[in-house]
Amino acid sequence: MTRKLNSLPEPPGNKGLPFIGETIGFFTDPDFNSKRLAKYGKVYQTNIFGNPTVTMVGAEANTFLFRNENKYVVSQWPKSTSILLGDLSLAVRNGSFHTSRRKLLYQAFQPRALASYIPTMENITDEYLQRWQQMETLTWYPELRNYTFDIASNLLVGTDGGSQTPLGELFETWCGGLFTIPINLPWTKFGKALRCRKQLLKYIEAIIIKRQQEDSLREDALGLLIDAKDEEGNSLTLAELKDQVLLLLFAGHETLTSAIASFCLLTAQHPEVMQRLRQEQQELNLSSPFTLENLKQMTYLEQVLKEVMRLIPPVGGGFRKVIEPFAFNGYRIPKDWSIQYQIAQTHKDREIYSEYDRFLPDRFAPDREEDKKSFSYIPFGGGLRECLGKEFARLEMRIFAAKLLQNYQWELLPNQSLDLIAVPTPHPRDGLKVKFRCV
Ligand code: HEM
Half-sphere CA count of 439, side-chain side, radius 13 A: 10
Mean pLDDT value of segment 47-69: 94
Instruction: Note whether 273 and 301 are within 8 A (CB).
Output: no
The C-alpha angle with vertex 111 and arms to 110 and 113, in degrees rounded to 5, equals 70
Cβ of 251 less than 6 Å from ligand 1 = yes
- How many other CB atoms are found less than 10 A from the CB of residue 300? 19
Closest atom of ligand 1 relative to the 309 alpha carbon:
5
Q: How many residues does the chain have?
A: 439
Query: In this model, does residue 250 exceed pLDDT 90?
Result: no
| Gap between the Cα atoms of 273 and 359, Å rounded | 9
* Of 43, 42, 123, the residue nearest 396 (C-alpha): 123
For atom 14 of ligand 1, the residue with the nearest CA is 318
Answer yes or no: are the C-beta atoms of 168 and 149 closer than 8 Å: yes
In terms of pLDDT, which residue wins out, 275 or 4?
Answer: 275
- The amino acid at 290: F
pLDDT digits (tens, 9 = 90+) for 120-147: 999 999 999 999 999 999 999 999 999 9
For the chain, the structural domain boundaries read: 2-438
Q: Is 247 in the pocket of ligand 1 (CB under 6 A)?
A: yes
User: Does any ligand 1 atom lie closer than 6 A to the CB of residue 295?
Assistant: no
pLDDT at 160: 78
Mutate to test the pocket of ligand 1, among 255, 256, 257 (most ligand atoms within 8 A of CB): 255
* Per-residue pLDDT tens digits for 389-406: 999 999 999 999 999 999
pLDDT of residue 174: 92
Q: Taking residues 3-31, what's their average pLDDT? A: 85
Nearest ligand 1 atom to alpha carbon 90 = 40
Distance between CA atoms of residues 366 and 396, nearest Å: 23
Closest by CA position to 400, among listed 275, 259, 283: 259
- Lowest average pLDDT, out of 174-183, 264-273, 380-389, goes to 174-183
* 196-237 pLDDT tens trace: 999 999 989 998 998 888 877 677 788 888 888 877 888 889
Of residues 112 and 43, more confidently modeled: 43
- Residue, of 65 and 289, whose pLDDT is higher: 65
Q: What percent of the chain has pLDDT over 70?
A: 99
Share of the chain above pLDDT 90, in %: 70
pLDDT computed for residue 272 by the predictor: 97
CATH architecture group of domain 2-438: Orthogonal Bundle (1.10)
**336 class by beta-carbon count within 10 Å (0-12 exposed, 13-18 middle, 19+ buried):** exposed
Q: Please check the confidence at residue 1 and state whether its pLDDT lies above 70.
A: no
Check pLDDT > 90 for residue 243.
yes
Reduced to 3 states, what is the DSSP secondary structure of residue 166?
Answer: helix
Model pLDDT for residues 148-177, shown as the tens digit of each residue: 999 998 888 887 777 777 888 888 899 889
State whether the beta carbon of 246 lies less than 6 angstroms from ligand 1: no
User: For residues 251 and 314, is the Cβ–Cβ distance under 8 A?
Assistant: no
Count Cα neighbours of 309 within 13 Å in the Cβ-side half-sphere.
26
Residue 82 has what pLDDT? Answer: 93
Kindly state the average pLDDT of the residues 402-413: 96
Choose one of 306, 347, 380 to mutate for the ligand 1 pocket test, by most ligand atoms within 8 angstroms of C-beta.
Answer: 380
Please state the atom number of ligand 1 nearest to the C-alpha of residue 381. Answer: 10
* Count of C-beta atoms within a 10 Å radius of residue 272: 7
Mean pLDDT value across residues 277-303: 93
